[in-house]
């Protein structure tokens, strides 16, 4: 009798423990979804609804990321493997070199090092908590809101910068538009800066391709509206980066067809629909105007930078690394100090030469961290290549989602910006979804 009581007590204890673990796992998933919502709508809060809290909201996602990391560690879902160990070491050492051999400002150093010690572990948290089915749900959500997002872009594109819809961070009436051509500005959507538009639709593109191949996994109306939304968003965004990213995703689709010719019929059907939609849109005046603005911006930028290949690949990708090395040599082997190229570092530090490097991520990393920045670049490239190899293996097994997400993930993980809040969230989110897509339910 006593033995039966002990067995029953043990079973109850096990069931209670399993229930607690399931609750923690559910909270982890909810936390990731909350992070996603804040990444998309944090700018809306800072511009329109809570402008007085725009500065605290700048780091509103950070406590969520920290909580996710702590819970994942307690659940054993975040193992201290080589990649996590290396990024922790690079971040920790760069923090102390910034204080003792760099700018010496502790607030700037903390703000800078959080990009490494929070957002790279976040990739592994999402990768271990989510599985492919969760990633598909995220894709459905992104496609569902992409058409309303495009409507918002159109309102911002055709409205003056003084309009409420174009308010900047903190309710700035000067407007949130940036760059552009022919008197039109690049619209930011719900994001705090215009790069959010490029990030958002860059992530929409591979999911859109995936759902055209697997149409039973999404509502047809959502799929069609999202397709139209992306087609219209490309010229409205006035972003060469978005255009190139969509082209890269299409290239990955072509390579997938080469590996699996049976996909060709599905792709041809989707291509016909998209061609018809594009033809119809071309006859609409508002789309024609946006296309003219985009073409002007595209041609002007190419002429200014010496062509698309030289300007984007030469100046922004490889040239940025060379200039970063040159800038760090002017200071010390440990650079100006981590965080000096971030928005906070620009405000707090005087004679901040790294602020001039902020547009080019690799150049900023080397300028801030010197030799440690080179190690960080190598780390990011190796990690991206590792995930790419795994994605290619999945493609050989007819698992297309990791391969399609690789079209945006490989460059973002390797060179995505870490100093700007929207881009930083995009790196953690995209890397995590890419890694999670390789885990079957």
61 CB contacts (<8 Å, ≥6 apart)? 35, 38, 39, 42, 421, 425
Q: Beta partners for 178?
A: 186
> Confidence class of residue 180 from pLDDT cuts 50, 70 and 90?
confident
What are the pLDDT digits (tens) for 79-126?
888 999 999 999 999 999 999 988 899 999 999 999 999 999 999 999
> Confidence class of residue 2 from pLDDT cuts 50, 70 and 90?
low
Q: State the number of CA atoms in the 13 A half-sphere of 31 facing the CB.
A: 23
For residue 148, what pLDDT is reported? 97
Q: Beta partners for 181?
A: 184
In a domain, 75, yes or no: yes
Instruction: Give the domain range for residue 56.
Output: 20-436
Burial of 9 (0-12, 13-18, 19+ CB in 10 A): exposed
pTM of the model: 0.92
- Answer whether 375's CB lies under 8 Å from 411's CB: no
> Confidence class of residue 366 from pLDDT cuts 50, 70 and 90?
confident
User: What mean pLDDT is reported for the chain?
Assistant: 87
Q: Is the dihedral of CA 116, 122, 127, 128 positive or negative?
A: positive
32 CB contacts (<8 Å, ≥6 apart)? 68, 125, 126, 129, 130, 432
For residue 261, what pLDDT is reported? 87
In a domain, 228, yes or no: yes
Ranges 89-98, 151-160, 298-307: which has the least confidence: 298-307
Structural domains in the chain (count): 1
In a domain, 441, yes or no: no
- Answer whether 142's CB lies under 8 Å from 205's CB: no
Cα separation, 123 vs 69, in Å, equals 10
Residue of 13, 135, 126, 117 whose CA lies nearest to 68: 126
Q: Residue 277 has which token pair?
A: 């939609």
Residue with tokens 């150049």: 363
For residue 4, what pLDDT is reported? 67
SS3 8: helix
pLDDT greater at residue 365 or residue 141: 141
SS3 190: coil
In a domain, 7, yes or no: no
In a domain, 12, yes or no: no
In a domain, 8, yes or no: no
Is the pLDDT at 404 greater than 80, yes or no? yes
In a domain, 6, yes or no: no
- Answer whether 370's CB lies under 8 Å from 354's CB: no
For residue 416, what pLDDT is reported? 93
- Answer whether 209's CB lies under 8 Å from 249's CB: yes
Is the pLDDT at 142 greater than 90, yes or no? yes
Ranges 42-46, 244-248, 254-258, 341-345: which has the least confidence: 341-345
183 CB contacts (<8 Å, ≥6 apart)? none
Q: Say which DSSP state 169 is in.
A: G
For residue 1, what pLDDT is reported? 61
Average pLDDT over residues 372-378: 92
For residue 177, what pLDDT is reported? 78
SS3 184: strand
Q: Residue 86 has which token pair?
A: 């290396």
Residue of 294, 349, 327, 290 whose CA lies nearest to 98: 349
């Amino acid at each position: 009798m006593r033995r039966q009581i002990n067995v029953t007590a043990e079973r109850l204890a096990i069931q209670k423990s399993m229930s607690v673990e399931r609750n923690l796992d559910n909270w982890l998933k909810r936390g990731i979804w909350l992070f996603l919502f804040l990444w998309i709508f944090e700018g809306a809060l800072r511009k329109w609804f809570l402008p007085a809290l725009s500065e605290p909201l700048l780091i509103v996602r950070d406590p969520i990321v920290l909580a996710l990391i702590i819970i994942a560690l307690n659940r054993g879902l975040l193992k201290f493997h080589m990649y996590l160990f290396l990024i922790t070491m690079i971040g920790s050492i760069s923090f102390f070199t910034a204080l003792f051999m760099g700018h010496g400002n502790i607030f700037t150093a903390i703000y800078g090092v959080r990009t490494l010690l929070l957002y790279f572990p976040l990739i592994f948290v999402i990768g271990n908590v989510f599985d492919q089915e969760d990633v598909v749900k995220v894709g459905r959500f992104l496609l569902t809101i992409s058409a309303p997002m495009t409507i918002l872009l159109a309102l911002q594109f055709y409205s003056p910068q003084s309009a409420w819809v174009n308010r900047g961070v903190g309710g700035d009436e000067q407007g949130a538009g940036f760059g552009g051509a022919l008197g039109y500005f690049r619209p930011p959507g719900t994001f705090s800066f215009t790069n959010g538009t490029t990030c958002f639709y860059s992530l929409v593109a591979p999911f859109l391709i995936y759902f055209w191949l697997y149409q039973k996994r999404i509502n047809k109306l959502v799929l069609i509206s999202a397709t139209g939304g992306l087609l219209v968003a490309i010229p409205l965004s006035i972003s060469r980066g978005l255009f190139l990213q969509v082209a890269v995703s299409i290239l990955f689709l072509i390579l997938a067809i080469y590996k699996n010719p049976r996909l060709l019929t599905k792709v041809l059907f989707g291509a016909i629909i998209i061609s018809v939609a594009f033809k119809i849109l071309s006859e609409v005046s508002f789309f024609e105007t946006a296309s003219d603005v985009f073409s002007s911006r595209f041609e002007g930028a190419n002429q200014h930078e010496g062509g698309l290949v030289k300007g984007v690949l030469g100046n922004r990708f490889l040239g940025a690394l060379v200039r970063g090395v040159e800038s760090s040599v002017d200071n010390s082997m440990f650079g100006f100090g981590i965080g000096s190229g971030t928005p906070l570092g620009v405000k707090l530090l005087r004679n901040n030469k790294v602020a001039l490097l902020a547009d080019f991520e690799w150049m900023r990393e080397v300028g801030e961290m010197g030799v440690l920045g080179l190690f960080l670049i190598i780390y990011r490239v190796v990690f991206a290549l590792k995930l790419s190899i795994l994605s290619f293996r999945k493609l050989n097994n007819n698992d297309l989602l990791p391969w399609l997400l690789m079209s945006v993930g490989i460059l973002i993980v390797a060179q995505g910006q870490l100093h700007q809040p929207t881009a930083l969230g995009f790196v953690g989110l995209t890397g995590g979804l890419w890694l999670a897509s390789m885990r079957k339910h």
